[in-house]
Chain A
Amino acid sequence: MNSFLLNRQLGSVSPQALAQAHNHHLLQALQAAPGVHFSQVGLGEHEVIDAAYRPPVAHAAGVNSIAIDRFEGRYLLSGGADSSVAIWDLERAESTTDGAVLHLPLGHAAKTSMTGRLGITQVSFYPFDSLAFLTSGYDRTLKLFDSETLTASATFDLESTVHAHATSVVAMHLLVACASQHPAVRLVDLRTGSSTHSLAGHSGSVLSVAWHPKDENILASGATDGTCRLWDVRRSASSLGVLDMDDSIGIVGHDGKGLGSRRRERGKAHNGAVNGTTWTEDGQFLVTTGTDKRMRVFDMSTGANTLANFGPALENSQNTTLTPLVPPSMYSHTRTIYYPNAGEILCFGMQSGSLHKRLRVPQSTPYASHNVRNPNRTTSLAWRAHHIEICSSHADGMIRCWRPRTAEDVEAEEEEGFAADETAQTETVERKRKRDELNQILQDLTKRREM
């Protein structure tokens, strides 16, 4: 770092090179930030969060989906399994005396559907600002909310469970693509308020949808029939074809938009339901996850499966959307990908498929409502724009933060700790905590080596 800074001052390396190296360094150091809590209730009289006092979780019934605004990286949206939604300010928190922080919701709506049992499947911000957001849920609707009042300003009844929805951030149109139990991908036009048309082609429930990051008309979707289809919403025969996991060559004569697969109507992306699709930022690759416990990376300039093998560690058993996270390319030089596994987040190299890191959820006594099935489950991941930070939502009702913690951080804490340690007692506690943390780091490192 020192020599990087010196060379940047000299103008002999570009500022981008330093940024890239630093981002890479931070991305490698990503780990659970144990001191960050999201809760409906503030600290009140309490000064620390410990065994004696644990504030309630973000959503008591479990968090199904989170989203962070892409403009400021400041607002986090969460949707619960009890159809509650909440919006949080990541830059504002109550802090405890021991340095932990507690985020309180800026707004919270306890129930957004008729019955609380009909949970939310996905939340997302309006594509052009963070003043509105969309939810889809088991109540068969897509709703548009005002971010300040948390009241639904529009409701679209799609007459079947909506598993996921997607808006394009580059498009001029305001089409929301909805993946629902119905085999057709439904497009809802927010401008007119009508459900414009359906994209028919799948032969099972659609579980995931994703717009192309650069071409406003290209859409990818995954369904329980194991296929991942590409669509061009302008065309009457809108399906461009499917992705075939057995094709590792692809089709020559491509144009880099994923249209190369248009000539293929046979083949499956997974040997199970496709419940996650996501594009890389440049539209070069499409990543899919399936209930066959596989993740596949397709090269979208040819439509070929890159055959990256992510090993046996992936868990994926529910027919709900489970989308992996690809950090923006400017942060990860060697593209990395994060997979929400039960009780952990797995970090892979996208091209090699090698497991870089296992980010374990810190073990904590479950204090969510005990009727949650499978409380370990990680339900969704969100990248915090302008930061090297991931937020994850969990079925146990927690929202967790993952932040870089480098060796310098550990030392800085010691430096800082110096000022705070007034009594020997806190010092020893501190030391123990640090030792534990170091052990944890060491463990992670040795694990990585073994792999």
Chain B
Amino acid sequence: MAYLAPIHRPSSVRHAIKLSFLAPGSEDLILAKANRLEIWAPNPQQPDLLSLQHSKTLYGKVTLFHKLRPAASQTDHLFVGTDRYHYFTLSWDAERKELHTEKSYVDIAEKAARDSQTGDRIHIDPSGRFVSLECHEGVVNILPIAHAGKGKRKAADNEIGELQDPVPVRIPELFARSTCFVHKRHGGTRLANPEFAVLWEDSTSKVRLIVRELEFQPSLRPKDEPPTAELEKARDAQGEIELGASHLIPLPPPMYGLLVIGETRISYVDEWNYQVTHTQPLDSATVFVAWCAVDEQRYVLADDYGTLYLLFVQQNSSGEYSGHAIDALGETSRASTLVYLEAGRIFVGSHQGDSQIIQIKEGGLDIIQTFPNIAPILDFTVMDMGNRSVDAVVNEFSSGQARIVTGSGAYKDGSLRSVRSGVGLEDVGSIGAMGAPVTGIFGLRSSGKSQYADTLLVSLVASTRVFRFEADGEVEEVEAFGGLEMGEATLYAGNLPSGRFVQVTSSTVLLADAGESMVSGSWQPPSRSSITAVAAEDDKVLVSLGGAVLVVLDLAGGGVNVQAQRDFPGSEQVSCIALSKSVPGTCIAGFWQDSKVAFLSLSDLQPIATTTVADEADGLAVPRSLLIAKILPDAPPTLFVGLADGNVVTYLIESAQRPFTARKGIVLGTQQPNFALLPRGDGVLQNVFATCEHPSLIYGSEGRVVYSAVTAETAQSICSFDCEAYPGAIAIASADGEVTLAVVDEERTTHVQTLVVKEMVRRIAYSAELNAFGLGTIRRTLEKGVEVVSSRFRLVDEVAFQELHSFGLKEDELVESCMRCQLDDGSGTGETAERFVVGTAFLDDDATAGDASGVKGQVRGRLLVFEVTEERKLKIVTELSLRGACRCLGMCAGRIVAALIKTVVIYAFEYQTPSTPFLVKKAAYRTATAPIDLAVTGTTIAVTDLMKSVSLLQYTPGRAGAPDSLGEIARHFETLWGTAVANVAENTYLASDAEGNLVVLQHDINGYSDEDKRRLRPVSEMLLGEMVNRIRPISVQPSPNALVIPRAFLATVEGGVYVFCLIAPGHQDTLMRLQTLLAERVVSPGLVPFNKWRGFRSQVRDAGEEGPTRFVDGELVERFLDAALEVQEEVAGELGRSVEEVRGWVEALRRIH
């Protein structure tokens, strides 16, 4: 039923580690971005910077990393823990360039135990014997590390350093803020038991430090009995620890002891008596969030406000601790993890802003590399290039083409980001309108010596125009050029290897010298026949005379000589021709009859090989365009046959005798596509630009031919125009005669443009009418140790992203929601005008909110209506005080729908006097807990609740004196902590929850009983693994044989953007079976089963055994193409289809994003 494909992968970095992973001695940085691992290594050219080496998908969101080094291994192993309470260890298989699972996943989930509130933690004790792993409250898992022992317990050499099975140990400290192993002094040969320090908050909210001794007893009979571990012996630290203490830093020998990092001070705790000493207050209070060690004495700390500090620990003469000092280094993104690289460089991994590499220098820091990150996406809006509005019809061919503007980042790292995935097409210059339809466009070199094209020949219906380009980009139209015929349309123009030009019009073939303006040779077709098609390559020109005669002309000698000629009978007329140097001595011709395509010998034009391109199903398809291009490395050239019905058929040309192998077909549109060859940067391979109603770039990637949409909808003809001023450019002529120069990407990529706002963009509303964005922003600063939060509603121009005006909210008032809409303009004529509506809330203290005896009737939120004046300023039209937050807004039947603290309320915008409008409450409905998001379709309002999933409300405007009513018509009875909801099809809703699940709910309006109609039925479920913050529906015009139809975009907290599609009815079973078959065969790192990863999972229900329900994960299905051929054959065999057919589907699915 449902299909999900990624458009932008999660980019938030929460965990990072430096390892020798890829090769012995290498220094790689491994980043965790939600469920992906990225391996970065120093760039050989610029060793200070890192470059991405590999990116791998895991089945689980990473919650912890650690380094392990078994004795027998040359490289480090990576210990990975996931949010499913799985852990596993990975190493790198350098030969296969794949992750190798060293230890397959171990599940340590405890059903009744609660998540640790302060994040998962892992530590290795200083003696290297144990790993402690904390995922649940009050449980420490002890994993012994195999070490060389004696006697029977001796570990085999290859096992040394391997992890053994976990032993869960309970500790009474439930709310542990930080833990660590303490370095211990020890005398004699026997190693002392490790000591484990826990900084915890007791039931009276007092912060305490306790140090527990780990007593571990290996089992005498390891097969029958597990070993035992205890953390019973404990000692409390003496002295006061501040309430804000958050981190423990163990100091290595010879200093010993540990540092307790707090909000207002840093203290030292000795390792002998655990006495808190040397407390030093900070200059100003702050909240530390991450730390890393530079060396034994220096530590770098990061705080919540993005400041980096250097903590220096002083030693006395005997190396013992004698004091510490802290200095601010400078500002970075708000760190979630810090990794010390080397030579004063630190990686700052960030969730809320761009990750960075910084270089510490004297008295400060420099940012030397930035890793873009669009997480967390708080809100976004969909803008298509053509008609920029949310309701825009998006091109189904590649919905990833749509431009998405996101509000990303938190507080000072806040920004607006424009995300679009696709082949970027950037206009670099315009030549202007030709005033007539352009039939062809050709780039020429005016001299044989020049390596750049400098002349653009534009063929119009009845004339030809020529434009000269200077090196600085100056353009000039020339009246005459090299004796070329200007009074006719040009069918072909090009340079010969000798530097001369050839121009072909319908009546003549001209050969002109570059230097002089004279014609050195020409050829005219016999009278009463005209040239209708041309193909040229090197010195050969092949012309078709009305499809009945083919003539090969040889231009090598300076004149035009007929090399061969053949008349075709009426039953075998030629529809299109092509030449290529990839298959020398041959030409290709397509025929009107029988969908025939043939390779002909250039010497006598007799067929060498012939095939029928069309499927038997539709024998009417006529080949209309042909092109040979070298698309794939290490593969024969590809023949593209464009059919009149919009299909494209490709073949691999193994040789002139065997040119029709590996047939593939794809639908590009409904009309014939035309092809243009574009060189790639490497000079060997080529891309193909297909112009049709969905212009596409065809390129080779990962051993496959990829079709990707390009936003050049109006392009009529195209040619490569690599001129000096615009290297690598292409010239595009549009249907209305506009000629532009543009640079097109060689491959599809995700383009992210950043517009720094430095305030958190919480809400975005886009008004196409006003060409402006309304942004609800929140700013947080630290003033004298006190956090100051302020919020504004800003009007920003859509093009320049310039602030036009802003409206500051009151103290402690934050923007909660905003929307644009059409409201009565008050003229009394019933006309409407564009307005922005903003909902706000005052910062509340949960304590007072929960207290029923609190002050009643207090204003806790407002609803504001703005108009934008002629001067593009915001002007408040009306406001309404609310007793709670206004979480979400919508429009329903011309009324404003507001999701308030517990109710959904309908307000009418009415003018009681002509100048003063009021918001009048018309109807209200109380939801189960608290409404979080709304989706309005007609008069039906879908509301997702804080914890009780989705309910559907029906709004009925009052009639004949009866009041308006708002009542529930259906709901989904399940605990689901909703975050967003959207209507994705008739009576079908997509809802997301806080635990990262996606659920498709259907309202069965034709249900048999009332009871059926009252229940929303879940039809598809899947765990996405990231919390979705916003779902925006899109509408597309599906092509009749599309496998899936894009319906909505989703944006997540982790910075992922996904496209949600519905599977076309005929393909549901096949796609689901394909997913099941692949899930069994695709091996994941850690050998985590696919079902466990994608199965719905919430606190109350876990479908980890069954897997996703009627929900297809595009990422998995696309891996069909990467699978080994045997696997592909097996899967296709199980489906009862051919490998080619399945590959065709998957490639079609790939094009969606």
Contacts and interface: CB of A to CB of B under 8 A. Distances in A.
A28 B979 CA distance: 24
Given A1-B930, A282-B112, A416-B925, A409 B1100 contact: no
A10 B850 contact: no
Q: Which of B111, B378, B974, B994 has the largest count of A CB atoms less than 10 A from its CB?
A: B994
A10 B376 contact: yes
A29 B850 contact: yes
**Taking chain B's interface residues, is the majority helix, strand, or loop, or is none over half, making it mixed?**
loop
Contacts of B979: 8-9
A408 B901 CA distance: 7
A410 interface: yes
**Taking chain A's interface residues, is the majority helix, strand, or loop, or is none over half, making it mixed?**
helix
A155 interface: no
B115 A16 contact: yes
Contact of A413 (B853, B926, B932, B946): B926
A412 B846 contact: no
Interface string B1027-1054: 1010000000000000000000000011
B170 A416 contact: no
Nearest to A15: B994
B871 interface: no
B1099 interface: yes
Interface string A18-32: 111110011011000
Contacts of B921: 415, 418-419
A407 B994 contact: no
Interface string A265-293: 00000000000000011110000000000
Contact of B963 (A17, A280, A422, A442): A422
Contacts of B112: 213-214, 280-283, 329
Contact of B852 (A18, A91, A422, A445): A445
Nearest to A90: B973
Contact of B850 (A407, A411, A422): A407
A4 B846 CA distance: 9
A385 B1098 CA distance: 14
B394 interface: no
B114 A19 contact: no
Contact of A386 (B378, B887, B975, B1027): B975
B1053 A411 contact: no
B885 interface: yes
Contact of A11 (B117, B351, B841): B351
B352 interface: yes
B903 A415 contact: yes
A117 interface: no
Interface residues of A, number: 62
A445 B853 contact: yes
Q: Which of B111, B410, B903, B923 has the largest count of A CB atoms less than 10 A from its CB?
A: B903
A91 B973 contact: yes
B141 to A, nearest CB: 14
A2 B1029 contact: no
Interface string A378-416: 000000011100000000000000000011111111011
B897 interface: no
Contacts of B115: 14, 16
B1141 interface: no
A92 interface: yes
B203 interface: yes
Nearest to A25: B850
Contacts of B883: 411, 415
A262 interface: no
A29 B929 CA distance: 13
A438 interface: yes
Q: Which of A351, A409, A413, A419 has the largest count of B CB atoms less than 10 A from its CB?
A: A419
Nearest to A412: B902
Nearest to A279: B112
Nearest to B1052: A11
A332 to B, nearest CB: 10
A386 B1100 contact: yes
B105 to A, nearest CB: 22
Contact of B975 (A283, A387, A419): A387
A9 B376 contact: yes
B1053 A10 contact: yes
Given A281-B112, A412-B902, A442 B846 contact: no
A411 B884 contact: yes
Contacts of A110: none
Given A301-B170, A411-B902, A419-B963, 11 more contacts: A1-B930, A3-B843, A10-B376, A25-B850, A72-B973, A330-B1099, A386-B974, A406-B852, A408-B930, A415-B903, A419-B966
18 contacts: A1-B901, A2-B814, A2-B844, A5-B887, A9-B762, A9-B979, A10-B410, A11-B1054, A18-B994, A22-B947, A213-B112, A214-B112, A283-B112, A407-B850, A412-B903, A415-B926, A416-B925, A442-B853
Shortest Cβ-Cβ A-B pairs, 3 listed: A15-B994, A412-B902, A282-B112
